């Protein structure tokens, strides 16, 4: 659980750091039900240090979450980015979205959970709004630690940072532990955003091939881009039996 520098010339959170020095860096925290990861990058985007902790955060109190994130989070970074994974989400076209209807729109697809906090991310780049929920304890802890930072859903972040606006047909796949997040772009616009649980490479491949069967896209003109699958090469190997795959 220690914060390991990538080399001797990089920063290490195990030693006292002058807060005026750290102001030039970007702190990124990604939280899921399985734990969290913290990374620090410099102004050029180079990764300086990282830390990953396996802990069931969604079952902890806000005080326990804060304790786990301390002391790294108390330094004065130039920018802080908070990303939270959640399977409870829905995307609504911005022109028809009404904030007062956010809860109803989310609960139309997902069962309400009293211990969750409903949130939303507006994504002007794609003219859409992501309504999602995370545990209130996590929301309260992050808000207390970083009152000026926004909490982003992991798919809001993925859309904003990894998918370019261009007139193409493409299937973007982000691999988590046993879940794949799929974003389908058709003619430069959002066609589908959904998540599927999988256990085997066969499951993984089936869901993707089924998309090509059900949606107005085809294997000849639609690219497939795979992200975060480096630790599961068997997924790409199976998928490449049927489709041409590009690493994201």
Chain segment 73-102, per-residue pLDDT in tens: 777 788 999 999 999 999 999 999 999 999
What CATH number does residue 197 fall under?
3.30.420.260
pLDDT tens sequence across 172-192 = 999 999 999 999 999 889 999
Q: Work out the percent of the chain whose per-residue pLDDT is above 70.
A: 90
Q: Which residues pair with 91 in a beta bridge?
A: 130
Quick check: 225 and 172 in contact, CB under 8 A?
A: yes
pTM of the full structure: 0.87
Co-location of 179 and 155 in the same domain: no
C-alpha closest to that of 150 among 127, 125, 130, 180: 130
Co-location of 4 and 81 in the same domain: yes
Query: Which of residues 143, 162, 181 is at a domain's end?
Result: 162
| Beta strands 4-5 and 47-54, pairing class | antiparallel
Question: Is 84 part of any domain?
Answer: yes
Q: Which domain holds residue 202?
A: 165-247
What's the average model confidence in pLDDT over 145-169? 92
Q: What is the pLDDT of residue 44?
A: 84
> Which tokens is 100 given?
């007062």
Question: Residue 11: is its pLDDT beyond 50?
Answer: no
| Beta strands 79-84 and 47-54, pairing class | unpaired
Question: Is 107 part of any domain?
Answer: no
What CATH number does residue 83 fall under?
3.30.420.250
Q: Which residue is it, tokens 């970083």?
A: 146
> Which tokens is 182 given?
């799929």
Co-location of 139 and 229 in the same domain: no
> Which tokens is 85 given?
């994974």
- pLDDT-derived band at 212 (thresholds 50, 70, 90) equals very high
Co-location of 31 and 76 in the same domain: yes
Query: Which of residues 114, 141, 162 is at a domain's end?
Result: 162
Question: Is 121 part of any domain?
Answer: no
List the 223-227 sheet strands across, edge first.
189-197, 179-186, 170-175, 223-227, 245-247
């Amino acid at each position: 659980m220690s914060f390991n520098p990538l080399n001797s010339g990089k920063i290490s959170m195990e030693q006292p750091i002058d807060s005026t020095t750290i102001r030039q860096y970007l702190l990124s925290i990604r939280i899921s039900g399985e734990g969290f990861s913290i990374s620090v990058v410099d102004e050029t985007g180079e990764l300086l240090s990282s830390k990953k902790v396996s802990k069931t955060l969604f079952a902890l109190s806000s005080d326990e979450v804060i304790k786990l994130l301390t002391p790294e989070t108390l330094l004065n970074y130039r920018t802080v980015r908070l990303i939270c994974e959640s399977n409870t989400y829905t995307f609504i076209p911005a022109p028809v979205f009404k904030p007062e209807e956010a809860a109803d729109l989310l609960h139309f697809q997902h069962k309400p959970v009293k211990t969750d906090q409903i949130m939303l991310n507006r994504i002007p780049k794609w003219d859409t709004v992501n309504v999602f929920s995370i545990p209130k304890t996590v929301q309260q802890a992050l808000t207390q630690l970083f009152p000026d930072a926004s909490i982003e859903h992991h798919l809001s972040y993925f859309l904003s940072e990894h998918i370019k606006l261009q007139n193409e047909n493409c299937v973007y796949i982000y691999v988590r532990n046993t879940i794949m997040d799929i974003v389908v772009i058709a003619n430069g616009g959002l066609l589908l955003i959904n998540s599927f649980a999988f256990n085997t490479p066969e499951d993984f491949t089936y869901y993707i091939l089924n998309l090509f069967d059900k949606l107005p896209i085809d294997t000849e003109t639609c690219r497939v881009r795979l992200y975060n699958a480096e630790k599961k090469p068997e997924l790409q190997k199976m998928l490449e039996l049927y489709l041409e795959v590009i690493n994201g």
